[in-house]
Amino acid sequence: MDGIIKKGRAAAFTNAYATNVLLNETDSDVRIYAFNEIIDLGAERIAISEGSIIMTDQATVLLYEQLKELIEKWKTEGKQVEVSAQRREMLEKMKDKK
């Protein structure tokens, strides 16, 4: 491809803020669910999804490569992002158990 490709936004463009994300794989795509709120009902907790992104396998690889590049940049800048054990445990509990 020659030239620059400019980025634009569709009329229905939206943002979803996520404090947690979850990946699900189907037989034809990968889905990222954005979670921002957990409702505690005592005996159970409900994670509320703000939205999802449905990606092809190629888009998933491109996302991985960009995230890896960003995290490497942070490391060279001395930025450390620690994920708490509590957040990791919560994510494990949200995953579908098949």
Predicted confidence (pLDDT) per residue in 48-85, tens digit: 998 999 999 999 999 999 999 999 999 999 999 999 99
Q: Domain count of the chain?
A: 1
- Cβ neighbours of residue 49 closer than 8 Å, sequence gap 6 or more: 33, 34, 35
Domain-embedded: residue 41: yes
Q: Which structural domain range is residue 38 located in?
A: 20-94
Is 3 domain-assigned?
Answer: no
H/E element holding 55?
strand 45-55
pLDDT in tens, 17-29: 999 999 999 999 9
User: For 22, phi and psi rounded to 5 degrees?
Assistant: -140, 135
Does residue 35 belong to any structural domain of this protein?
yes
Using 50, 70 and 90 to split pLDDT, how confident is the model at 3?
A: confident
